[in-house]
Amino acid sequence: MPVDPVQITTIYKIMMNTLLVSIPEEIYFVLFTYIMMGEFDQWMYGDCKKLFQPWDYPRILVPAVSAALVSNILLYTGADMSIISLVIILVLFAGIVAMGDILNNAAALRWMGKALIYLLFAALFLTFCEFLYIPFFLYGTGMTVAELNNDTLLKFLISLPGRVMEYSLIVYLVAHKRSLLKARLLKMVFESKALTALTLGALLTDACFMIFMARLVGNERALAAFSAEVRFAVILGICLFPPVNLATLVGCTYFVHNRAAAQKKEAADRIRKIVKVVKTCAENGSTVNVFWKLNGLYTGLEGVANDLYQQKGLNKKGGER
């Protein structure tokens, strides 16, 4: 049976693009997620001599290679880029969960939610990095995305600036021994189901927006008729949308948290003030004033209790853990 040269060429492109472009990209996804999840806690200790233990390699490579291979099979069989982007996230997520061996854990859903949030954040950062230069290359050379995908070596070379930025982020996380995990913001987000869901929604919105814009600007060449200045302004606006969206979410998170903290401080100050007055009256031997202040203390504590009860009710509605 004669061998179809087209099939051989397609298989060659799938294998080369998987090895040169996709596997390094998917490894970045997995490493970022694991580091932010705290899966490499041994890096925090001074006696840690190895970044990775033998059992870490399957946990990293199985999700990365699976996602890379599936995405390239879809790419070179004509699948839509939006579908491919979604499949990459889903395969990576499934691989990370499967290799994490946490399905029998009571906190499995929370663990998976955090993993998905970090995966989406990694995807946003990757898309942001590639959007900074790939559209300008395509419009400057007149190439289409399909032509770029067919040139494996050129696609590898074009991916290098993005890989440098992505792995620079990984190196930063390694060098600082996951210092971001100690950030107050992350603790606030993951302590509340409402904030976790809101963050996940914001990241999904940003990811969908960037995928749609990548298709519109790259595949559909929507900016081809405009000048270089207009292209630059539009691409800059697209790149700024996710950071501005996330910054708004961060601002709202701090506002809600600080407001709750202020209410607790106000309640505590009320108790301290009443106790101080009662203590002063008792020292002065004023029995009438003591009874009067004790009655006020009862009323004040009842008000504080009601405030805290209402706040607790709001927290439960908001989904605090």
The DSSP letter of residue 42 is G
* Phi/psi at 128 (5° precision): -60, -45
The whole-number pLDDT of residue 75 equals 92
Q: What is the pLDDT of residues 169-189, one digit of tens each?
A: 888 887 775 555 555 666 777
Nearest by Cα to 95 from 35, 50, 42, 34? 34
The DSSP letter of residue 320 is B
Higher pLDDT, 187 or 168: 168
Q: What is the average per-residue pLDDT within 108-131? A: 89
Question: What is the residue type of 73?
Answer: I
Distance CA 97, CA 116 (A): 10
The 10 Å CB-count burial string (b at 16+, else e) for 254-268 is: eeebeeeeeeeeebe
Indicate the pLDDT class of residue 199, thresholds 50, 70 and 90: confident
Indicate the pLDDT class of residue 320, thresholds 50, 70 and 90: very low
**Is residue 31 a contact partner of residue 59, using CB atoms and an 8 Å limit?**
no
Distance CA 223, CA 67 (A): 31
Nearest by Cα to 165 from 132, 210, 188, 121? 132
Higher pLDDT, 312 or 153: 153
Secondary structure of 205-258 as H, E, C letters: HHHHHHHHHHHHHHHCCCCCCCCHHHHHHHHHHHHHHHHHHHHHHHHHHHHHHH
Q: What is the pLDDT of residues 271-302, one digit of tens each?
A: 777 677 666 766 666 665 656 666 665 665 66
Distance CA 180, CA 37 (A): 11
The whole-number pLDDT of residue 201 equals 85
